[in-house]
Amino acid sequence: MLALASAPAAPRERMRPFDITHDLAPLADLVDVAFSAEPDGMRRNVVSEMRRAANAGPLLWLAAADPIGLSTMGGFVWVAGRRLVGNVTLSRDSSYADLYVISNVAVHPDWRGRGIAAQMLRAALREAERRSARLVVLEVEQDNAIGHHLYEKLGFATYDSVAELRHASAIQSTCIQDGSWPGPGQILRRQKASDAASLLQLVREVTPPPVRQARPPREKDYRLDLGTRFDRFMDDLLYRRQHGDWVVERNGRLIALLQGVGQFGSEAHRLRMEVALSARGTLENELLRHGLTWLTRFPERPIWATVSCTHPEALSALSAAGFETMRVLDQMQLRPGGLADRSGGNL
């Protein structure tokens, strides 16, 4: 008598809380696959940090600088059998105890369109509500219609948009060597420890009100006292990089801030600028010249800058210098309350 062959059973699927001791390495693989359409530099740092921490073990990364917030990482995963195929990360913001951040909303391409992301998001929002979160924030690409639809159905609303721009280091070196960019001028000086209060005033002025409400600027974020310098020295030593901070002062008032992170390792360099509303359109090019010149002392790497779309003068200066806008992110927020009654959608 012939035995009837039975089809293999489908793997059992379920949602469960994220377990950092076991899920970090498979989450890195999932993020790498789920966001493969993005420019490589967008996800490389997060994926490499996850894999580094997974290999090192919890004792090492809890004692380290924790650049991507591993110590507060939580949320939910979707597993099919033993395979991790979906994730929503929920993390408490390291600076604001009542602010929670949703990130790594990822579903493997083979499991999309089944409402998995919506179920994990609802669970994450209920967890944020249970923890008495003041606000939950996330970022979504401006042209991601599916993501926008899902987040809006859950109650999220956009409060700011930021552009992420990339500059090829080869262009940077050529521009400076052939004289297209003159050397740094004399209007900038190094930031001092005594500048913290004035910098706070500057940042408050240029930060859009909804952003100030989500993450109120604080003076301690702009201090360069002995303790801050030591922490930064240890962080730079661990990750083989160097920070630079400069300001522009006029009539005893700080009207611009330039910050740079130069990498000796494999990561991309970073630039950030803030300019007082009254000085916009007059300082951005000079700030950028200074930052690009400073970065020539480091190995050639891509240079990234993130700029609020409320600062078009900075976007124009970066574009003129050869930066390319890689994506525009809408920053969205939700105040928890009644989350269980909100309908979801498929992603």
For residue 52, the model assigns a pLDDT of 74
Cβ atoms < 10 Å from Cβ of 225 = 11
- Is 169-321 in the same CATH topology as 13-160+331-341? yes
Helix or strand holding residue 328 (H, E): strand 324-334
| 184: pLDDT strictly greater than 60 | no
Residue with tokens 């420019």: 39
> Tens of pLDDT along 222-243?
888 888 888 888 888 888 999 9
| 256: pLDDT strictly greater than 50 | yes
Among 57-66, 233-242, 320-329, the range with the most confident prediction by mean pLDDT is 320-329
* Domain boundaries, given as residue ranges, for the chain: 13-160+331-341, 169-321
202, 212, 226: which is closest to 279 by C-alpha? 202
Can you give the pTM of this predicted structure?
0.82
For residue 44, the model assigns a pLDDT of 63
Pick the CATH number of 169-321 from 3.60.20.10, 3.40.630.30, 3.30.43.10, 3.40.50.720: 3.40.630.30
Q: How far apart are CA 252 and CA 202, in angstroms?
A: 13
For residue 177, the model assigns a pLDDT of 46
Read off the amino acid at residue 113: G
138, 142, 187: which is closest to 163 by C-alpha? 142
Residue with tokens 């991507």: 68
Cα-based angle 259, 72, 51 (whole degrees, multiple of 5): 80
Pick the CATH number of 13-160+331-341 from 1.20.1090.10, 3.40.630.30, 3.30.70.1070, 3.20.130.10: 3.40.630.30
343, 339, 342: which is closest to 90 by C-alpha? 339
Cα dihedral across residues 172, 174, 177, 181: positive or negative: negative
Q: Are the CB atoms for 222 and 196 separated by under 8 Å?
A: yes
250, 252, 248: which is closest to 285 by C-alpha? 248
267, 259, 260, 271: which is closest to 317 by C-alpha? 271
| 99: pLDDT strictly greater than 90 | yes
Q: How far apart are CA 232 and CA 227, in angstroms?
A: 9
For residue 54, the model assigns a pLDDT of 72
